Amino acid sequence: MQTDQQPVDNLTILNNLASTVVHGIVDRLSPDSSASFLIRSQNQQQLDNWLIENWFVRDLQQRGISKIFINQQDSVSKFIIEFQILTLGVQYLPTTKKKLIERQCKINLAIRAQEGSSGLIKFIDQVNEQYTDSVKIHEINNLEKKHISFTQASLPEMRGFRKYIEPFIIMTTTAGIVYLFFRLRSN
């Protein structure tokens, strides 16, 4: 729980989650520095792709790999990594504590890795990472990036007095219906 200090913004958390996911995927391939990679998104024309693609490029470059292609059609690369973003974003959930809200940042990718020349499937997997903490409601605007949609989410309905009034109205209405049912039945 991170309530005493300024919490980390949503984009930073999602970047950390993406880095962890991508690092694990590339580790499974254990490439040498002479390998070439083709990274291909299965999400057509989504702006969210850049986050995952950039982490693949960064991770591969840190391993000394210089032949990296994105969304090319040829299969001359040694490895082809195809991914589909199933979940990427933030969700806010109510808490029992006043002025606090639970923040969940999630990333969920479907991955297929194959050899480019033979088409031999190296692995197919679905990878998930999640981060949860509590933040003050008034800090939400500082945590979101207005020009990046996956860093934003709508706040849950804050019920206030409704959580007491609605059950009371339902209970009173039900009691009234039961009373009227027996009253009319006795006549």
| pLDDT of the residue at 45 | 64
pLDDT, one tens digit per residue, over 6-41 is 789 999 999 999 999 999 999 998 888 888 898 988
Q: Strands of the chain (E only): list them.
A: 36-41, 67-70, 79-94, 100-115, 121-136
Residues in the chain: 187
User: Are 61 and 74 in the same domain?
Assistant: yes
Residue 71 domain-assigned?
yes
The Cα 50–Cα 25 span in angstroms is: 17
Residue 4 domain-assigned?
no
Which residues form the domain of 53?
A: 10-155
* Per-range mean pLDDT, top range of 68-72, 94-98, 104-108: 104-108
Locus of tokens 């029992």: 96
Q: Burial letters for 126-135: b for 16+ Cβ neighbours within 10 Å, e otherwise? A: ebebebeeeb
| pLDDT of the residue at 44 | 73
Tokens coding 77: 């690369």
Side by side, the strands of the sheet bearing 79-94 are 67-70, 36-41, 79-94, 100-115, 121-136
Residue 101 domain-assigned?
yes
pTM of the model: 0.76
- Res. 111 pLDDT band, cuts 50 70 90: very high
Q: Burial letters for 17-56: b for 16+ Cβ neighbours within 10 Å, e otherwise? A: bbbebbeebbeebebeeebbbbbbbeeeeeebbebbbbbb
User: Are 141 and 117 in the same domain?
Assistant: yes
* Cβ atoms of residues 70 and 53 within 8 Å: yes
Residue 2 domain-assigned?
no
User: Are 162 and 141 in the same domain?
Assistant: no
| pLDDT of the residue at 75 | 58
Q: Is the pLDDT of residue 145 over 50?
A: yes
Q: How many domains does the chain have?
A: 2
Residue 1 domain-assigned?
no
CATH number, residue 54? 3.40.50
Q: Is the pLDDT of residue 3 over 50?
A: no
Tokens coding 27: 């580790």
User: Are 114 and 179 in the same domain?
Assistant: no
User: Are 145 and 101 in the same domain?
Assistant: yes
As a whole-number percent, the residues of the chain with pLDDT over 90 amount to 42
pLDDT, one tens digit per residue, over 45-92 is 677 888 999 999 999 999 999 899 887 776 577 889 999 999 999 999
As a whole-number percent, the residues of the chain with pLDDT over 70 amount to 91
User: Are 120 and 174 in the same domain?
Assistant: no
User: Are 73 and 57 in the same domain?
Assistant: yes
